[in-house]
Structure 1
Amino acid sequence: MPKSTTTTTILLLLLFPFFIHATTSSSSSPSTIIKAGFWPSWSFQTLPPSSINFSYFTHLFYAFIPLDPTTFQLSISPFHHLWLTNFTTTVHSQTPPLSALLSIAGGAFNRTIIANLVSNPTSRATFINSTISIALHYNLDGFDFDWEFPANPEQMDNLALLYKEWRAAITCLLPTKVLLLTSSVYFSPDFFLSIVPRSYPVAVMAETLDWINAMCFDYHGWWNTSETGLHAALYDPEKNISTSFGLGTWIREGMPAKKVVLGMPLYGRTWELKESEEHGVGSPAVNVGPGKGGKGIMVYGAIVRFNEENNATVVHDEERVAVYSYAGKSWLGYDDEWSVRKKVEYGMKMGLGGYFFWALGF
């Protein structure tokens, strides 16, 4: 954390016990369509903020800032200080200005640290005051809390406490500043695919968050190499592993549609087919397919090149609203312009708050 924020943080910590139960003033539904994108800070060389096509967006997320495992404050390294400053300045310099938000933790961050954070009132207070101090220092428009994922009902209850206390702090300490509070979440409020039953505190989230970023992807992947799968299908005719089921459940459980933002991936997941002649959805596979990192992940730009270079057959699955391609024994499942358009049309019909992409540069 920059030295200039220390005094502010100490002051907020002293005030925290007095305001924490003062109010949990609810946020209002977004008044405009949210068109968001997450900018991974590690892409600073290939896609610096100045290279982003801002005409596509209303909100940009800086991904990610970690937590100090001991103090539970946001950990702003010299690298993040440099690029967070660059990011917010560039985003705000657009005409009209866009909103710059900071996403915290992320999928690769140690979830035990987050569980420890939310389990204790003092650590929650320290964290919340750290975020407010950072927001003021970097002129941020808000935060996204990306915990992937709470592991049991107790952690869900503690997460609800964090949301309540965070909103109370923002309302009391920043009455004249609009500071957005969002959370990146599982595609469904219920972890119905898990052996540990648990559900998000939807009622609290509806009251305290400006919106949720529903991660409507990774339904299938390297954890099951025996058959191909569409990892971001809008519909699933056989199971409830789909975007429409997940978002519909969020709304049925009480999250206002305008506070539900549909997440779309700018990457695909790939498999190696057992037999090149069997190349449909659910066809037998023997391994992950082409892609970096040994997990069969391929960004959209690479998918387009792969299809062109290998003369791949591209299939637009009308029933599932998803795309796949195959060439030889390589099978790729992903979204393209066609399926994205279909998902946006679905979101408009459902009255959703908008959409986001993970991630810029893909």
Structure 2
Amino acid sequence: MKKRYLLITLVIAITFIGGIVTGVFFSTNNAKDDQTETINTDRAPLSAIKPPTKELPKVEKTQSKVLIGYVQDFRDPNVVDYSKLTHVIFSFAHPTKDGGILLNGDAALKNLRTTVAKAEKSNTKVMLAVGGWFHISGGESYPYFKAAITNPTSRTKLVNELTSFAVREKLDGIDIDFEHPRSDADAENLAAFAKELSTQLHPKKKELSIAVYSKIHAVTLTEIGFVKYQPSMFRDVDHVNIMAYDGQWDDRYNAANLSPYPFTEKIVNYWTDLFEKQKISKEKLVLGVPFYAQPDNPKIKQVSYGAIINKDPANASKDTVSMNGTTYHYNGDTTMKKKTKLALDHGFGGMMLWEAGLDAQGPHSLTSTIFGALKDSSKDPIKYYTVKKNN
């Protein structure tokens, strides 16, 4: 009985002590839990907990209006001011009648690759122009280009050749410079070529532009009918570069008709009306201006605007100058500003120049003049951004 009493007493004591130990154990753990919550909320705010960071892609600002500069294949790529241009159009690839393309040797390809490398530093796009007035094989480019785009097989081959070249050389697009469609059949074939090329380039995020004849006679200031386009074609391209110069060849030779302001006014009005009637965005229209001077004496060669400024910087504000025993006609600083305003007032997407390598260096650069006029035309010249991937 006594042993049984002792046993019961011992059990009760063990149970009592175990309860105390268990209580201490749970109290300690709860205290630790409470302490952890306090650290998270009171002593270390959520803002102090830094998630892993990822480097953002480089974002480059892009101008709302384009400034497109053609550059000839023999030009030293180092003379071009890429920082002012949104696009450089390298000129030219020459079409063959069976749909191939030719460049002017290894030197042209080297210049193209240098142009691409330099343009990339300024986030400037580089496109390749196909066509032009003269062909590398001699004579006009017209018969070669016509043959290539008339036959569906050679037309597709030319599209594929240009697309493959653009991808391989890391270009941003292709420019069509067919000078010029002279019949309804030419216009139809050119439209078919543009549509097929657009279908290839646009899914690859590459642009398509086309250089077009002014369509206005420099003397009569009326529409010229011998150059023909299908207006629907302009829906398939991103830029329509209007060659609003070389009016000196209309009727009898007259150097003063190179590209005077009244001539340009008529050109701008013509293309504005056409695009409004066709309900095509006028932002696609780009007004072209000359960076060269035409001599009164046709036996004397043209000179660059750069040469005129090197002769005398004061010539920047003029449109005519006497040099080499003749008078030259050109577009100086003041006229370029007026033409830029004219284009923008009509809703054009920007300006084009032929060609960048003919410009003056330094404070009298026409590229800088036009760039400044485009920038000053809007309180907010930056309309959108492009994300440049870091490789």
Tell me whether the two structures share a fold, i.e. TM-score over 0.5.
yes
CA distance in 1: counterparts of 2:250 and 2:345, whole angstroms: 33
Q: Are the structure 2 counterparts of residues 338 and 128 from structure 1 closer, same or farther at C-alpha, using a change threshold of 3 Å?
A: same
CA distance in 2: counterparts of 1:78 and 1:315, whole angstroms: 40
Within a 5 Å distance, the mapping from 1:303-342 to structure 2 comes to 303-306=308-311, 323-326=319-322, 330-342=326-338
Once the two structures are superposed, residues 187-218 of structure 1 have per-residue CA deviations (whole angstroms, 9 ceiling, x without a partner) of 12899676x6442112221x100011101101
CA distance in 2: counterparts of 1:342 and 1:74, whole angstroms: 38
Deviation at residue 82 of structure 1 after TM alignment = 2.0
Equivalent residue for 1:32, pick from 64, 67, 80: 64
Deviation at residue 221 of structure 1 after TM alignment = 4.5
**For the Cα contact (< 8 Å) 1:153–1:198, is it kept in 2?**
no
Deviation at residue 165 of structure 1 after TM alignment = 1.5
Residue 266 of structure 2 is aligned to residue 245 of structure 1: yes
Equivalent residue for 1:106, pick from 109, 132, 135: 132
Once the two structures are superposed, residues 103-131 of structure 1 have per-residue CA deviations (whole angstroms, 9 ceiling, x without a partner) of 11212122101010111111110000111
Corresponding position of 1:61: 89
**For the Cα contact (< 8 Å) 1:182–1:213, is it kept in 2?**
yes
**For the Cα contact (< 8 Å) 1:189–1:250, is it kept in 2?**
no
- After superposing the two structures, state which structure 1 stretch, 80-89 or 155-164, moved more: 80-89
CA distance in 2: counterparts of 1:204 and 1:222, whole angstroms: 26
Structure 1, unpaired ranges of 5+: 1-29, 236-241, 272-286, 289-293, 317-322
CA distance in 2: counterparts of 1:34 and 1:270, whole angstroms: 30
Q: Are the structure 2 counterparts of residues 249 and 98 from structure 1 closer, same or farther at C-alpha, using a change threshold of 3 Å?
A: same
CA distance in 2: counterparts of 1:358 and 1:150, whole angstroms: 21
Corresponding position of 2:159: 128
**For the Cα contact (< 8 Å) 2:79–2:357, is it kept in 1?**
no
AA aligned to 1:301 is G
Corresponding position of 1:164: 195
Within a 5 Å distance, the mapping from 1:255-274 to structure 2 comes to 255-271=280-296
**For the Cα contact (< 8 Å) 1:222–1:295, is it kept in 2?**
no
CA distance in 1: counterparts of 2:192 and 2:333, whole angstroms: 40
Q: Are the structure 2 counterparts of residues 130 and 296 from structure 1 closer, same or farther at C-alpha, using a change threshold of 3 Å?
A: same
Within a 5 Å distance, the mapping from 1:71-220 to structure 2 comes to 71-76=98-103, 77-94=105-122, 97-109=123-135, 110-171=141-202, 175=203, 177-188=204-215, 197-205=226-234, 207-220=235-248
Deviation at residue 68 of structure 1 after TM alignment = 3.0
AA aligned to 1:179 is K
Deviation at residue 304 of structure 1 after TM alignment = 3.1
Q: State the SS of the aligned residue for 1:250.
A: helix
Q: State the SS of the aligned residue for 1:346.
A: helix
Q: CA RMSD in A?
A: 2.8
Corresponding position of 1:41: 73
Q: Are the structure 2 counterparts of residues 160 and 130 from structure 1 closer, same or farther at C-alpha, using a change threshold of 3 Å?
A: same
Q: Are the structure 2 counterparts of residues 330 and 158 from structure 1 closer, same or farther at C-alpha, using a change threshold of 3 Å?
A: same
**For the Cα contact (< 8 Å) 1:230–1:324, is it kept in 2?**
no
AA aligned to 1:340 is M
AA aligned to 2:281 is P
Once the two structures are superposed, residues 316-346 of structure 1 have per-residue CA deviations (whole angstroms, 9 ceiling, x without a partner) of 5xxxxxx223479732210111111111111
CA distance in 2: counterparts of 1:132 and 1:33, whole angstroms: 26
CA distance in 2: counterparts of 1:305 and 1:270, whole angstroms: 17
How high is the sequence identity, in percent, across the aligned residues? Answer: 21
Corresponding position of 1:297: 302
**For the Cα contact (< 8 Å) 1:39–1:62, is it kept in 2?**
yes
Deviation at residue 261 of structure 1 after TM alignment = 0.4
Q: Which has the larger radius of gyration?
A: 2
Q: State the SS of the aligned residue for 1:38.
A: strand
**For the Cα contact (< 8 Å) 2:238–2:284, is it kept in 1?**
yes
CA distance in 2: counterparts of 1:121 and 1:295, whole angstroms: 43
Corresponding position of 1:26: none
Corresponding position of 2:260: 233
Greater helix share, structure number? 2
CA distance in 2: counterparts of 1:93 and 1:81, whole angstroms: 19
Once the two structures are superposed, residues 67-86 of structure 1 have per-residue CA deviations (whole angstroms, 9 ceiling, x without a partner) of 234x3222244333322222
Q: Are the structure 2 counterparts of residues 79 and 252 from structure 1 closer, same or farther at C-alpha, using a change threshold of 3 Å?
A: same
Deviation at residue 223 of structure 1 after TM alignment = 7.3
Q: State the SS of the aligned residue for 1:60.
A: strand
CA distance in 2: counterparts of 1:128 and 1:257, whole angstroms: 26
TM-score calculated relative to the size of structure 2: 0.66
Deviation at residue 133 of structure 1 after TM alignment = 0.6
The number of equivalent residue pairs is 284
Deviation at residue 234 of structure 1 after TM alignment = 2.1
